[in-house]
Chains A and B, each alone.
Chain A
Amino acid sequence: AAFGLYFPRKEYLENVYIDQPAGTPLLRIHALRDSHGEVAHFHLCQNLIVSRARSHENNWFQIREKTGLLYLSKSLDREDFNVLSVGNWMPLSKVMLYVFLSSHPFQEKECDSASRTTVFLSLINATAPACSSLTARQLCFTEMDLSFHIKENKPAGTFHQLQLPSVHHLCQNLSISYKLLAAEGMPFRYNENTTGVSVTQRLDREERERYELIAKCTVREGFREMQVEVPFLVNVLDEDDSPPFLPNGTDTADAVVEFSRKEGTVLATLTVYDADTTPIYPLESSRKKYTGTIITDDPWITETFRVEHIFDEIHFSPNGSQVRGTQHEYKLVLNKSISVTEHRYFQLDVLVNDTEFNGPERSVMLHFNVSILPVSIQFPNMTYQFAVNRNAERFAQIGRICIENCMKFRGVNITYKLLSPSVSCYPVSILQGREDKWGSLYVNDSSVLRRPECKEIQYTIQATDKQSRKHSKTLLTIVLEGTLLKKEEDCPDSCAVSKHHAECEECGGLGVLTGSCQWRQGSGKGITTNYSTCTPSIKTCPDGTCDVIESRDPAVCPQDCTSGNIIGGHGKGIGNLGIKSGHGICYCFPRQNCYCEKDDIKEQLCDDVCKTVI
């Protein structure tokens, strides 16, 4: 930067009293240099900011351009005080001044410069107090913390004066002396003559980023002696002076594309460290500072892959003290879904560049060994055979059809289809949910099951990859078994309606596999996922998901699929569908309400504590 001078603190604070004489020194402001030979010039903005955004012309305060001493140029009388307090509603009135800094004498006195600091002046509605009434704390330090920031790699210089100019001016008969404790071996020096504190050498944040010292003040008044100690903190500000480096020298990673081929899949991650800090705020500018670019001429590669950069703060400990650094992660990510037929091997290089570092090693090259393997769409080496009971009802789930590795696939769209057999027996169909990787086989026409001429039916199943149109076929055999039972009269068409164990198993309903519903006996107490209920098949209902077959008819499994009211203690399922947990027995009237209640009459009635659910 062209203007390297800077303030070692953002804010200064001092009290101003009524009728303090013109010429009273208030406080001393310091500047630190960026390079040797710079001379600081201080300048005050002509406006005072009064609280709540009013401004007023500054008639009272001035600063010495060379030394940074802020002083009263005109006494502040009661009338001035009232003018400056207007709009202030806090008990204490504060005015704010900006002090600007330049390496050459100010030409035009403008309130506009990159480096500035804020001075808060508390206007005290009283005349200056007698020195004897001030405590040692008030005589020695202001209310503000002694906390400074010093940029690393900058020349030494004085950055603070411990003595308070206002107190020194006011209480000349008091002896106030200071000391800097815990400074041994630290790069700071206290000058007793000027009470100035200086930094004696260039600091390196990557060595140490925080110094904690103690400022001690001794006030002597005749034989009385008082001492105060306050923390004196120095934070070292960071600049980009470290190149990126690789942990353990690892610059290569394998990236294999096999079953996961979906856009957004993270294939591999490589890490780059940097001893500098990287602020995550504002995020975008930090991303731009540290770039990761794929080096290639191949348009296919730039279309298919992208690099995602995330970074996080980590800690290094050089010589014992902890300093913050940055871990950058570069992830190779699929930019689009890759076809199952694609088959390639190549090396993909990513250039990481620390753009603000001014050294020769500002960049590192990362290598990804990319292997794109084709996957085959094929059924396992066998044919499917399922037995179906003749008493099964419509929507009974028979089984799942799945090609090899189907559950591992991501970003591959397989559709399953039954190729119609020539025979007239055709009781089953196949269905597939939107994201499902498998096909569910279910009874579509139960009347066919009852026909004696249908015994063993052969189908061909075909699985097709949507993108490549690759497909595979296999044989499916459905064997009808069991003897036809007489159907109970007066049974509802949904198992979920039954409230009791006995009536449940007497009846059948949509989705049953063997002609009768199944009872699930819950064991848990209170509201539990394991509630008692009557279902067509314990395996699929209730299991917490409303699958594609259950969603075809609300009578199949309302316990998983209902979107209506549930009366009684319960918890709803994902997306407000179904009963995730219930109290006692849960039963449902399809397309109407569900009820969860305890059937046990012996249990005492719900008392007040029980009623308070939340």
Chain B
Amino acid sequence: DCVRANELCAAEPSCSSRYRTLRQCLAGRDRNTMLANKECQAALEVLQESPLYDCRCKRGMKKELQCLQIYWSIHLGLTEGEEFYEASPYEPVTSRLSDIFRLASIFSGMDPATNSKSNHCLDAAKACNLNDNCKRLRSGYISTCSKEVSATEHCSRRKCHKALRQFFDRVPSEYTYRLLFCSCKDQACAERRRQTIVPSCSYEDKEKPNCLDLRNTCRTDHLCRSRLADFHTNCQASFQSLTSCPGDNYQACLGSYAGLIGFDMTPNYVDASTTSITISPWCSCKGSGNMEEECEKFLRDFTENPCL
């Protein structure tokens, strides 16, 4: 990972000095002129051979933020910043056997043979309540997100997001995914599913910002930027696979989706419909001007994504 790569680089005088130089180059306001500089280019060439160049981070690792900071300190300047899709700084998720079993538990709900009266979202909540860790962190975020602060501010969005991130980072996905992706046959169940992340606090806002504006806000934050890049890497619809997911890795896409919860780009179900499931971040493409096409494209990756 990048923390380790950074340590390796620091131990080597030529690497560490080039790294410092490059960081200075990229920190400059005018990226293009800085990169045209001979010294910066030399630093870049040397670093291309160093372990820092291909380093990645792990989701929920210790020092995740530090790792991402190192990652973006190199990549921010190089990937143009304005790219539509950015490469994920996270290590690719390989579906292990255990993951496949977990998936099976999610989709057993799709089986029409199971009792039509069963509510999978309620079952998921019960299962979470029976696990101490899940129950503690779930009631933690629910009480934080529904705590009224004052007459004008009905909850603290910042604290709510933090509690949600803790829940999705620290509780095993067999519990969290079951809650988030439970299958529903009636509206009450779908409403419970929609309510999972306490959308009145974590999702909805007074105004719907423009999606490109929201993306920009997200990209100023290393964590949010990384999670969004991860979502794009793992959930971008692909024509070359059966499930429309990159590498048919459905699990990785679900993980990236859950990874966005608790950030500015928090996605959620837009309604309690059981037939057509639509997911979107809290934004719209109104007021996009000449960027409307780009905005629609960005939004479609959530609302009309065959992989998701």
A residues near B, CB below 8 A?
51-55, 87, 89-92, 112, 143, 147, 149, 235, 237-238, 277-283, 311-313, 324, 572-576, 612, 614
- Binary flags per residue of B122-148, CB closer than 8 Å to A gives 1, else 0: 000110010000000011001000011
A contacts with B: majority SS: loop
Q: B87 to A51, Cβ gap below 8 A?
A: yes
Cα distance A312–B210 in the bound complex, in angstroms: 11
Nearest-Cβ distance from residue B289 to partner chain A, whole angstroms: 3
Cα distance A233–B48 in the bound complex, in angstroms: 41
Cβ-defined partner of B292 (8 Å) among A51, A89, A235:
A235
Report chain B residues within 8 Å CB of A280.
Answer: 209-210, 213, 286-289
Q: B240 to A575, Cβ gap below 8 A?
A: no
Instruction: Count contacts between A and B, CB distance < 8 Å.
Output: 86
Q: Which residues of chain B (87-140) have a CB below 8 Å from chain A?
A: 87, 92, 125-126, 129, 138-139
Asked, given contacts A53-B75, A87-B54, A280-B210, whether A576 binds B291 with beta carbons under 8 Å apart, the answer is no
Cα distance A614–B136 in the bound complex, in angstroms: 12
Q: A313 to B150, Cβ gap below 8 A?
A: no
Asked, given contacts A280-B213, A283-B213, whether A237 binds B290 with beta carbons under 8 Å apart, the answer is yes
Q: B287 to A313, Cβ gap below 8 A?
A: yes
Nearest-Cβ distance from residue B67 to partner chain A, whole angstroms: 16
| B221 at interface by CB-CB < 8 Å | no
Nearest-Cβ distance from residue A560 to partner chain B, whole angstroms: 14
Report chain A residues within 8 Å CB of B148.
Answer: 572-576
Cα distance A278–B240 in the bound complex, in angstroms: 38
Nearest-Cβ distance from residue B192 to partner chain A, whole angstroms: 10
Cβ-defined partner of B290 (8 Å) among A238, A283, A614:
A238
Chain B, Cβ-Cβ closest to A278: B289
Cβ-defined partner of A238 (8 Å) among B126, B150, B213, B289:
B289
Report chain B residues within 8 Å CB of A54.
Answer: 48, 53
Q: Which residues of chain B (16-74) have a CB below 8 Å from chain A?
A: 32, 36, 48, 53-54, 74
Cα distance A115–B187 in the bound complex, in angstroms: 51
Nearest-Cβ distance from residue B138 to partner chain A, whole angstroms: 8
| B151 at interface by CB-CB < 8 Å | yes
Report chain B residues within 8 Å CB of A278.
Answer: 287, 289
Q: B216 to A313, Cβ gap below 8 A?
A: no
Cα distance A91–B92 in the bound complex, in angstroms: 12
**A55, A143, A280: most-surrounded residue (chain B CB, <10 A):** A280
Nearest-Cβ distance from residue A137 to partner chain B, whole angstroms: 10
Cα distance A280–B214 in the bound complex, in angstroms: 11
Cα distance A137–B288 in the bound complex, in angstroms: 33
Q: B293 to A149, Cβ gap below 8 A?
A: yes
Q: B129 to A574, Cβ gap below 8 A?
A: no
Chain B, Cβ-Cβ closest to A580: B148
Asked, given contacts A143-B239, A612-B129, whether A576 binds B147 with beta carbons under 8 Å apart, the answer is yes
| B246 at interface by CB-CB < 8 Å | yes
Report chain A residues within 8 Å CB of B200.
Answer: none
Closest 8 pairs (CB-CB, A-B): A279-B289, A280-B287, A53-B78, A281-B213, A277-B289, A281-B210, A313-B287, A313-B286
Report chain B residues within 8 Å CB of A576.
Answer: 147-148
User: Apart from A53-B78, A280-B286, A575-B148, what 19 extra A-B contacts exist at CB < 8 Å?
Assistant: A52-B54, A54-B48, A54-B53, A89-B92, A90-B246, A90-B247, A91-B240, A112-B36, A143-B239, A238-B289, A278-B287, A279-B210, A279-B289, A280-B213, A281-B289, A573-B148, A574-B151, A575-B149, A612-B126
- Binary flags per residue of B224-239, CB closer than 8 Å to A gives 1, else 0: 0000000000000001
Q: A52 to B87, Cβ gap below 8 A?
A: yes
Q: A575 to B210, Cβ gap below 8 A?
A: no
Report chain A residues within 8 Å CB of B216.
Answer: 281-282
Chain B, Cβ-Cβ closest to A239: B290
Nearest-Cβ distance from residue A525 to partner chain B, whole angstroms: 19
Report chain A residues within 8 Å CB of B290.
Answer: 149, 237-238, 277, 279
Cα distance A53–B151 in the bound complex, in angstroms: 49
A-B contact pairs, 5 of them (CB 8 A): A54-B53, A91-B240, A238-B289, A277-B288, A574-B150
Report chain B residues within 8 Å CB of A324.
Answer: 292
| B272 at interface by CB-CB < 8 Å | no
Chain B, Cβ-Cβ closest to A545: B151
Cα distance A282–B87 in the bound complex, in angstroms: 24
Asked, given contacts A313-B286, A575-B150, whether A112 binds B129 with beta carbons under 8 Å apart, the answer is no
**B53, B247, B292: most-surrounded residue (chain A CB, <10 A):** B292
Report chain B residues within 8 Å CB of A147.
Answer: 293
Chain A, Cβ-Cβ closest to B211: A281
| B79 at interface by CB-CB < 8 Å | yes
Report chain B residues within 8 Å CB of A573.
Answer: 148
| B212 at interface by CB-CB < 8 Å | yes
Chain B, Cβ-Cβ closest to A238: B290
Cβ-defined partner of A279 (8 Å) among B87, B291, B293:
B291
Report chain A residues within 8 Å CB of B48.
Answer: 54
- Binary flags per residue of B146-177, CB closer than 8 Å to A gives 1, else 0: 01111100000000000000000000000000
Report chain B residues within 8 Å CB of A51.
Answer: 87
Q: A279 to B126, Cβ gap below 8 A?
A: no
Chain A, Cβ-Cβ closest to B75: A53
Nearest-Cβ distance from residue B17 to partner chain A, whole angstroms: 21
Cα distance A106–B150 in the bound complex, in angstroms: 63
Report chain A residues within 8 Å CB of B36.
Answer: 112
Cα distance A54–B47 in the bound complex, in angstroms: 10
Q: A112 to B32, Cβ gap below 8 A?
A: yes
Report chain B residues within 8 Å CB of A312.
Answer: 286-287
Cα distance A55–B79 in the bound complex, in angstroms: 10
Chain A, Cβ-Cβ closest to B195: A614
Nearest-Cβ distance from residue B93 to partner chain A, whole angstroms: 12
Nearest-Cβ distance from residue B1 to partner chain A, whole angstroms: 15
Asked, given contacts A143-B239, A280-B213, A281-B210, whether A614 binds B289 with beta carbons under 8 Å apart, the answer is no
Nearest-Cβ distance from residue B171 to partner chain A, whole angstroms: 15
Cα distance A266–B139 in the bound complex, in angstroms: 42
Q: Which residues of chain B (273-308) have a CB below 8 Å from chain A?
A: 286-293
